[in-house]
Structure 1
Amino acid sequence: MLTGSSGRVGRAIFSALSAHHEVVGIDRVPFSSTHIVGDFADEELLLSALRGADAVFHAAALHAPHVGVVPDDEFQRVNVNGTRLVAEAAAAVGVTRLIFTSTTALYGEAVIPGSCSWIDENTLPLPKTIYHRTKLEAERVLESIASPEFAVRVLRMSRSFPETGDVMAAYRLHRGIDIRDVADAHFAALTNGGPHFQRCIVSAATSFIRQDCELLAKDAARLLRLRVPALAVEFERRGWSLPNSMDRVYDSAQAGLLLGWRSRFGFEEVLAQLDRRSLEVLPPGASVSRKAE
């Protein structure tokens, strides 16, 4: 069963799974990947969707664009109470695994202005908004429910929504990921072994190391020319400026160790998508809503 199956992440997960497994999608919005149209937090609909399921992918949530538009109580109902309902119902009917789509956005205030933070699973989240707080609370709910009979995998995905090509290409080095890589990580989490509760950052592979943070904060362009010369050449060819600073690096090494997963799509794919006018990448200069963050 897949919640949020009509959303961008849900559709990508459906695509990754459906060639190998029967997937039943549930979402409030109709789409070709959705079989049950309704609120996943409706217990009757949820139990119908869970019938016969071996695993649950829980991607449905209220997100950053809903902050200030949707009441905080609705964030609590959907992101926290709804997640608890999904987990408890799944465990009750004999489902043995739940994969939860979380976000690196919940690190929030852990990124200190003017510096560069190396962020891994040991970094303490410091959420800023009701979105971040409820996703973190949902993770804690799942950790409390996980058991040897009910495995839980929490995947904190980094930025994957469409942005301008120059921004996305740079982000792909330290805080972004292709939506297909996100889906592949979810697929890998379906069968991996190890502890019954696991939490992983899922972000594109980085060329940087922890010791690079000081220079990344002060003169990222110099380090980029050294570590990723192909990117620097492309930026110059396209008339783009390299970023002067980078404020964080998401380390997804643990996802590689626990899930056996590795990202496939780096900055080169961003540029290729831009050149073929993929809807995944916007042209530089396009006005982008910051609400997506």
Structure 2
Amino acid sequence: MVLGRATVTGTSGRVGAAVARELEAAGWSVRGVDRAPGSPTGVVGDLRDRAVREAALDGAGVLVHAAALHAPHVGRVPDAKFRAVNVDATAALLDDAAKAGVRRVVYISSTSVYGHALVPVDRAVWVDESLRPRPRDIYDETKLAAEQLVAAGAVPAVTLRIARCFPEPPPVLAVRMLHRAVALSDVAAATVRAVAEESVTGTFNIAGRYPFTRADCRALYQDAAGLIAERAPAVAAAFRDRGWDLPRRIDRVYDSGAAAEALGYRADRDALDALREEG
């Protein structure tokens, strides 16, 4: 049974492609759009072009907007282009989506928008949606501006602030998966949930499965290795077997509790999964 047409932007990129695959597996007919060709991408073109936007949105009931300039582009791409791609094109896309009869928008943002608010003082920062974003660069500024456009738009929408989800060296990824990274498969699954839960709107963090609570913030900043050994002994043993040091300090923990309550999101993969895959 086909649930309807979903347009996904950025489908030649890592996140957009994973979302497209997951939506198709869930029964959606997906039309992908990206500036670069790719296997899930049916419309190749720049979203700053009205004709491209209209071709992408034709017949769509749902829009998942993942296309953007990202943090690695900071300093390499002029700020004006960041604003044109991440803000102006998003505004135009939202306007065209409303005109095309799209009934739901899911915007893929980033936990990076918290910016300077992620810097700890005497304890790890517990990062839930009540933490006020303090953008530190043009990427953060434009992603936050796009979030505001999505929230104010005519089409009911959800914004997903996704945690770090790109490949990293195994020792680094294993640590990140304890407190600030998320598996790509969990991002895709969360997006499908956000598409399906049509009565839900708002902004939600999407992060991994971590062994810590808010009460652990001071201990994580003072002796993370000791707390990891206590809360995740299998992870500590796996680090020891590989000759890797556990982190002495953890500076932040992302909290997906709101997404769990509103969307039924539960991360499937954690640090131990990353270690098993590393071998």
Pairing 1:225–2:229 present: yes
**Alignment length (residue pairs):** 271
**Cα deviation code 1:232-283 (max 9, x no counterpart):** 00000110000000000000011111111111011122112222xxxxxxxx
Superposition CA RMSD, Å? 1.1
Alpha-carbon separation, structure 2, partners of 1:132 and 1:229: 36
Q: Does 2:142 align with 1:134?
A: yes
Q: Which residue of 2 aligns with 1:43?
A: 50
**Does residue 12 in structure 1 map to residue 34 in structure 2?**
no
Which SS does the other structure have where 2:53 is aligned?
helix
**CA offsets 1:149-201 (integer angstroms, 9 cap, x no match):** x2101000000111111111121121000001000000000111434x31100
Cα contact 1:194–1:258 (8 A) shared by 2: no
Please tell me the residue identity of whatever aligns with 2:57.
L
Q: Tell me which residue corresponds to 1:153.
A: 158
- Matches of 1:172 and 1:60, distance apart in 2: 24
Q: Does 1:184 align with 2:194?
A: no
Identity of aligned residues (%): 42
Among 159, 164, 172, the alignment partner of 1:167 is 172
The Cα shift of 1:113 comes to 4.1
Report the TM-score, using the length of structure 2 for normalisation: 0.95
How far residue 144 of structure 1 moved from its aligned partner, in angstroms, is 1.2
Which residue of the partner structure matches residue 63 of structure 1?
A: 70
TM-score (norm 1): 0.90
Give the whole-Å Cα distance in 2 for the aligned partners of 1:183 and 1:28.
21
The unaligned stretches of length 5 or more in structure 2 are: 1-6
1:258 to 251, 257, 262: 262
Write the distance in 1 (CA, Å) between the matches of 2:62 and 2:199: 17
Contact 2:104 2:198 in 1 (8 A): no
The aligned counterpart of 2:88 is 81
Q: Which whole-Å CA distance do the structure 1 matches of 2:52 and 2:199 have between them?
A: 32
Q: Which runs of 4+ in 1 moved over 4 A?
A: none
Match of 1:25 in 2: 32
Deviation, 1:52, is 0.5
Please say if residues 25 and 34 of structure 1, whose CA atoms lie closer than 8 Å, have aligned partners that are also in contact.
Answer: yes
